[in-house]
Structure 1
Amino acid sequence: MSLGPRINDAILGLVTLEHRVDPYFRDGFNALLQHPLVNMVQFFLRLLHKNPETALCQEIVEPDEQQIAAAITEKMKEFTALEYQGRTAERAGNTKTYGVVRAEFQVLEEVLPIVRKGVFAEAKTYPAWIRFSGPGPLSPPDVADAGILSIGIKVMGVAGDKLLGDEKWTQDFLGISCPTFTTPNTKENLKLQGEIYARTPVFYFFKPFDSHLLDAAMQGLYARMNRSPLEVQYWSCVPYLCGDGLAVKYSVRPASDHKTKIPWNPPDNWLRQSLAMRLANEDVELDFLIQAQTDPRRMPIEDASIEWPERLSPFVPVAKIRIPRQRFDSPEQLDFANVLSYNPWHTSATHRPLGNQNRARKLIYTQLSEMRQAMNHAPHIEPDGSETFQQ
């Protein structure tokens, strides 16, 4: 191993060490300091990132976007081919599956008229498959992972024409446990993918003349040794349409303050185990929320490193996610989790993804999913909620 990956792994080793003591102080730290520090980091990000948007729901498409998206896709394909040669291919992002669980997505009776569009147009309950996962691109022991979790919600039985032709009745929502994305735009994401392929992702954040320390700080303020995938808040990070002329972001948060105790030396698959323990004993509810864009300068479409201030536009509940008590960790159901394809473009035009990172995802997610399915000899399937698995 060359010097660069060795330095990268040594820094990540410090993250692992922090995760072992994290449970003993992190709640108090977050209660006292997280929001003030986030506000400070966001202040400097806004100073450095000049926002040219002047109108609500304004997208600014750069002329080289398609080439950048193609370059990101190819770099991630190269990583996938190299990393999973001769074995089951995993996703290049949101990689480690903690579990896919059966759920209900219940649109509420009382929803603000401005967002009662598309899937939120009427009070209705849909079946859903929810995938909880880690950030990737590898699947280390949970204590050694970056500490940012991912959620993918596949709502089924949703009528209407879809923007991708591979699924006819699904609506996908994606999020991570940080309100901003790892990179502000696709140009920076391409740099990150290059470092990932070189096994030096830490270098992306700490290069002396091309530093991304502020983005690292934002991720670090939300990264932690997590108790359970059911006990963190998730954010879409990037915006979506909601009808004509309204941009929104999504969030999912726990409906209770249940806190699972983390053992001193957690097992490698602790997050899968904690998820299984909770769902073996009780039903769980999560709130699904929407935040509307109200200020084009303070709430940009194209910059995913800028948090939309809740004091300008709070998140409001539009749906309830109900996860019944269940077993989900059979080999058959875990295999099913690997076959599923989550894509923000599994949606109708009413909820079209917005911004350069979302526009790039259409190519990236589609081609990487096709590559993974081909490597695993697993054809694409569109679930309908009727799937059953031996327990």
Structure 2
Amino acid sequence: MSPQFIPYSSDVEIVEPDFDANVQTVIARMERYITDSVTAEGTGQAVRDAHAKGYGLVRGEVEILDGVPEEYAQGIYATPGRHDALVRFSNGSPHAGADARLGRATGLALKMFDVDGPKLLEDETDSRTFDYNTINAPVFFCNTVQHYLFIQELFLEAAAYFAEGQRGRHRFFRDYLTGKGTLEPEDWAWEEFLTFLIVSQRPLVNVLLSTYTTMGAVRHGGYIAKVRIAPDPACAATVVERQMDVTSAAEVFRPALVTELCERPYAFDIQVQLCADLERMPVEDLTVEWPEQLTPYVTVAKLRFPQQDISGEENLRRMDALSFTPWRVTAAHRPLGSIMRARKEVYRRSSLLRHRLNNQQRQEPRTADEVLPLKTTVSHH
């Protein structure tokens, strides 16, 4: 007997008090950070305020599968077919330095081309692209925009805390838990702090071996879902450089990714988990991992990378000029919950400012070829 999936309705979301004012504060801080990053980060460029360092831009194709069960074949997944795609692998940190200094959160941002239907970004409803922003953890370490205000501040100042060794680390933990002393003990951010500890203990592995999720819930046609992008098990078994030793060199993630893709093609499964219980699979609490024993992840599409050469500065330059946002989607895949809603304007303003400071044209590409013509490699076996 299949679980009874919860139908989507707009009242699964709650409106957080002071939401708009808090989002404006987040944007002001983010804009200050990005503006300062031109000199502070040492790259001579403005960097993103999260996922600042990209590991490579990869050309791919998404095949939406035929014969998917009806509840899962929703929105764009209702029409089998192939879409060109681009993927940006990145580190989650707001900094751009050596890998050893950047922490264990990594990201996979996916852009699909030729996706029909108006998109939810008011300034580009006619865009033909469709994005996912995912990270290598099933949970996120923040639930409300109010808490995000102090957590954002802590992350932007994290390097200074951790430079003080154990004392600084303890101060960082205390400030995280207590909201820099602003929260009453009964409101301390225990779940968010414990989730931060879980995320910060992720294994250091090749970015091709991580499983990436949307963290927050999204609408899935008539239902509510989380989406993940998981390595195809057969492909994962062929990866040679598996563990990343960040003490061995300043750059370890990018060279390992370049090497693997030069040698062989690769694939991920795009999977959907439908919500069957709003108590145990909450929309607003991002620190809760939805139990797979309630509803499994079901594969709805394949993301395939042909063998290719992504080495060279040009790859990084093209990657940096792109913009990814969880809101460049159709209404059937609308992001849900406070944190996801906050990301809409924050990501848009971040992208606008970064492109302006870097004198980059900010325009959604019409084709993947426009950004990254496929350079296949010759295998030397």
The alignment's TM-score, normalised by the length of structure 1, stands at 0.81
Superposed displacement of residue 139, structure 1: 2.0
Match of residue 87 from structure 2? 130
Aligned with residue 237 of structure 1, among 212, 215, 228: 215
Aligned with residue 224 of structure 2, among 204, 226, 247: 247
Larger mean CA deviation between 232-241 and 84-93 belongs to: 84-93
3-state SS, counterpart of residue 269 of structure 2? strand
CA deviations over 1:156-194 (Å, ceiling 9, x no partner): 110111111336101101111111112122111111122
Whether contact under 8 Å (1:255, 1:287) holds in the other structure is: yes
Superposed displacement of residue 121, structure 1: 1.1
Is 1:289 aligned with 2:271? yes
Is 1:84 aligned with 2:38? yes
Q: Which 5+ residue runs of structure 1 have no aligned equivalent?
A: 1-53
Match of residue 385 from structure 1? 368
Number of residue pairs the alignment of both structures matches: 337
Match of residue 144 from structure 2? 185
Superposed displacement of residue 255, structure 1: 0.8
In 1: Cα distance, 2:249 partner to 2:232 partner:
27
Whether contact under 8 Å (1:332, 1:389) holds in the other structure is: no
Larger mean CA deviation between 116-125 and 86-95 belongs to: 86-95
3-state SS, counterpart of residue 325 of structure 1? coil
Larger mean CA deviation between 138-147 and 355-364 belongs to: 138-147
Match of residue 176 from structure 2? 205
In 2: Cα distance, 1:172 partner to 1:356 partner:
19
Whether contact under 8 Å (1:56, 1:294) holds in the other structure is: no
Whether contact under 8 Å (2:205, 2:244) holds in the other structure is: no
Q: Could you tell me which amino acid in structure 2 is paired with residue 128 of structure 1?
A: A
In 1: Cα distance, 2:75 partner to 2:7 partner:
23
Whether contact under 8 Å (2:94, 2:156) holds in the other structure is: no
Aligned with residue 169 of structure 1, among 116, 125, 128: 128
In 2: Cα distance, 1:232 partner to 1:197 partner:
25
Aligned with residue 315 of structure 2, among 333, 338, 350: 333
Larger mean CA deviation between 181-190 and 194-203 belongs to: 194-203
Match of residue 18 from structure 1? none
In 2: Cα distance, 1:263 partner to 1:92 partner:
24
Match of residue 336 from structure 2? 354
Q: Could you tell me which amino acid in structure 1 is paired with residue 194 of structure 2?
A: A
Is 1:158 aligned with 2:115? yes
Match of residue 24 from structure 1? none
Aligned-residue Cα RMSD (Å) equals 2.2
Superposed displacement of residue 196, structure 1: 3.3
Superposed displacement of residue 240, structure 1: 0.8
Superposed displacement of residue 142, structure 1: 1.6
In 1: Cα distance, 2:195 partner to 2:155 partner:
19
Whether contact under 8 Å (2:217, 2:336) holds in the other structure is: yes
Whether contact under 8 Å (2:136, 2:211) holds in the other structure is: yes
In 1: Cα distance, 2:328 partner to 2:67 partner:
26
Q: 1:129 to 1:60 in 2, by over 3 A?
A: same
Whether contact under 8 Å (1:339, 1:381) holds in the other structure is: no
Whether contact under 8 Å (1:247, 1:293) holds in the other structure is: yes
Match of residue 21 from structure 2? 67
Match of residue 228 from structure 1? 206
Larger mean CA deviation between 198-207 and 290-299 belongs to: 198-207
In 2: Cα distance, 1:159 partner to 1:320 partner:
19
In 1: Cα distance, 2:333 partner to 2:7 partner:
19
Superposed displacement of residue 130, structure 1: 0.5
Whether contact under 8 Å (1:333, 1:389) holds in the other structure is: no
Whether contact under 8 Å (1:127, 1:155) holds in the other structure is: yes
Whether contact under 8 Å (1:175, 1:236) holds in the other structure is: yes
In 2: Cα distance, 1:336 partner to 1:69 partner:
29
CA deviations over 1:246-302 (Å, ceiling 9, x no partner): 111001111124352447543222110110111010000101100101101111111
Q: 1:148 to 1:196 in 2, by over 3 A?
A: closer
Superposed displacement of residue 348, structure 1: 0.8
Whether contact under 8 Å (1:56, 1:296) holds in the other structure is: no
Larger mean CA deviation between 335-344 and 222-231 belongs to: 222-231
The alignment's TM-score, normalised by the length of structure 2, stands at 0.83
Superposed displacement of residue 214, structure 1: 4.0
Aligned with residue 342 of structure 1, among 305, 320, 324: 324
3-state SS, counterpart of residue 215 of structure 2? coil
Percent identity of equivalent pairs = 28
